[in-house]
Structure 1
């Protein structure tokens, strides 16, 4: 991924709303990546945010970046504003269980961001991310391409990790994706998954491996349940999602047209005005779905079910 040059970095500001574990880990990952010169943390608990900034500033010494506590007026001229604020998922909860509390928070936060930074790109990480990406789009009034949910970018990373372990190859050499909801109705796109340019059936034949359908379904199941397992063990997820948020910001800052599975409002499998994840091209203007994904009939039906599940939650919020 191309890096911005020193002159560009001096003008790059990234704002993170929410100084919880995901927000702070994202700030730290940004520092290590040297992607911005000015990183602003906004949180209702300013004392906690200040403590985090004091700690982060010691790392910023090596990254030559400024980290500070701010308020919503500091969103002005930000290249991107990341929203991580909200109630965290607890053991036994689904992401959709969080919807009413975090939607109420977005009704307060998003218009304030939009007022001070009408030209920024919003990146939503708070769960349920698809529902809240839709909310952020409508509450901000921003164009579709400038409201991006982290979506299944994390799930796609986990999926490639699982498949890499199964096939004994580096996950970077696995080209496979999860689309749909960042949640229980997500779906792996088996029909387009490849290694070395070969579909998985063909790769197994060439590598003299068994094409074990049950083992592959187990990879998808572990992907879908990964967050639940991590939350059960440590109470939260933060490192993976922070790294994914930085990977979303990289093509925005560098204008590099990278393709990632992120959430965006649109029409999916005939279901209108929902947000879910499909491959999008990311650059300094936002996220664009330039090429439709060629899904199998079964996958198209599963995508429709995923979109419909999100639509039903959105409709419940309107009542």
Structure 2
């Protein structure tokens, strides 16, 4: 397993206010040598090859289900965006685009983005002498109730000889493990699952909705404000926190506090069932990371 640090726009609003429309372009990377492991070669290429992807936010408006947020227009130039970066960073963002709570997806605004990323990723592996399945996964700790996963490629046959390689990239959310360890160390007072859950939740919410920039998005033009408000509404609904009124009042800080409190309670309760101690849970915290696993096999 190798760790790669990338600069990644993880919050939805950063995608919403992206650049003007462009065309899909894929950077090239030398193929692995004949003796190199195929999975390692694909993993290396993901971190070095770049792509500029064109996409639309319209699926987020068309598939929205809300009593509060309305989308009178669901297509057109105001929804179109582009994003540029390494394929690893695109896959990381695609994973966060599938953010779900207990399997319920928060928003579909990145569906078209994910399609473009999948196409670029397939272009990278096309023409090689092996098949590949690539999965990007974000979770604040293993099997947490809130997570995001995105997969490109078919599943390998049961009888195939599969090679695997994992790359760890930055998620764009705040690094949290050291803070988690500090509040659960032997010298810490009141080292509880509740305190750890609160620390993790605060950083997750801050990463998903950076207060200053999110407030600017809430004050922005259509459809940015509506899409961000809808995302607040959905996440709050799944966590049992009513944050829509705060979002509509452009109070990102207040909305974040309510979300973090609800998520913290949920994570603390879940951690208690999965880990023997708060310190063991802290060691597993991975808010700032996305794991990209490459599996390859011969056809």
Q: TM-score, normalised by structure 1?
A: 0.26
Q: TM-score, normalised by structure 2?
A: 0.27
Structure with more contact order per residue of length (Cα contacts < 8 Å, sep ≥ 6): 2
